[in-house]
Structure 1
Amino acid sequence: MSDSILVTVAMAIYRPNIEWLKEELSSIAAQTYKHFQVYAWNDDPNDEYDYDFLFSQYLKSIPFKIYHGLHNLGSNKVFEKLTELVQTPYIVYCDQDDVWLPEKLSALLYLFDDENVTLTCSDMYVMDENSKVISDSITKVRPRQILYSGADMISHLLAKNFITGCTMMMKTEIARKAIPFPTFFFHDWWLASFAAL
């Protein structure tokens, strides 16, 4: 991979717990892969918190931009707007309360060495409100959650989504073709199904 920015982190914000957001930004800044930028969209038009200052304190050497809408759009439309704005080859979706392992971006990006890959994703740890890990796999918390992989996943995805938005990286050109995001799908389910097709 080249030294230029290849990945954009697309983060939706709506009245976040600031302490959790700080923890998240710290984990994003600690990524071993450094060629990325962050686009965040604040979906509360009445929120006057200084997110630019907060992000600058934690993402010291990471380019970022924070967008504000005039109206509350909801998470699906926010992620759609962010997807429209992204110009890098890869996009990573991010909620406002995630905490990333340091190798997240490098591990997901590595899987794109196969040119036929459209989307990569991972399992995830589950934490409580005090940032204590309570499970090292979502499948232990949701026993019916099965993580599938491979080229023919559409039948599994149509039955039930198992790809969580905060665990996935996608080729931006494919994500942009999935616009507009339908209102009857959550963005991650829609994007995963689109990528599988």
Structure 2
Amino acid sequence: MRKDETKVWHNPELAPFARAPKSGSTTRSGTTPQDSRVAKEHRAALEALFAPRREPEPEGSGKNGKNGRDSTPKPGRIVLAPPPQSDPRATERQRLLSKLLAVEGRPHITKAANEFLGAGFTFPDDQDVHLKLLEHSDESRVREALSSLSSLLVGELPKRRAVLESRLRRIEEFAEDESTRDAAAQLRRQVSGRPDTQNQSAQ
């Protein structure tokens, strides 16, 4: 009897689950893996059918889910046409004039002024420019500056009166040409408000 009972324990018909089911065999629930996959797909389809529908967000009204930045389209940027290329001559003139106004000392002023004239430009009627030219080493340029300043100061007040009077005194004292010294003295009297003694004596 014990031998028969031992055989019963190993009988595959009485213990069908002792061995692993082969491919395509049924599971304990009596379903095949294929039936289980079909059931899952069916369940997923039902869940999708009865799940509450979400209204799609209008395009551009939300934020980008990836980085959270606002994806609202911004108004188009107005692109202005590039400005026309400036006149290279005008640019060169401005550069040389700025250089003249920036330098100090007679040698540097003389060099900058000659460079400006050598490029074919003429000095503008500006007090600061002609005040610089009073330091030119060529007295003919100094006399031209004195004449221009005399005309400008008829209708304008001197911008840098102390500097102007100081340079005029130095020209009166150290200029080699007498006409240069006389022009400087006359302009200094005009700036200081004193009458022109030469014109009174001539009358």
Q: Fold conserved (TM > 0.5)?
A: no
Q: Quick check: which has more Rg, 1 or 2?
A: 2
More strand by share: 1
Higher relative contact order (CA 8 A, sep 6+): 1
TM-score (normalizing by structure 2): 0.19
TM-score (normalizing by structure 1): 0.20
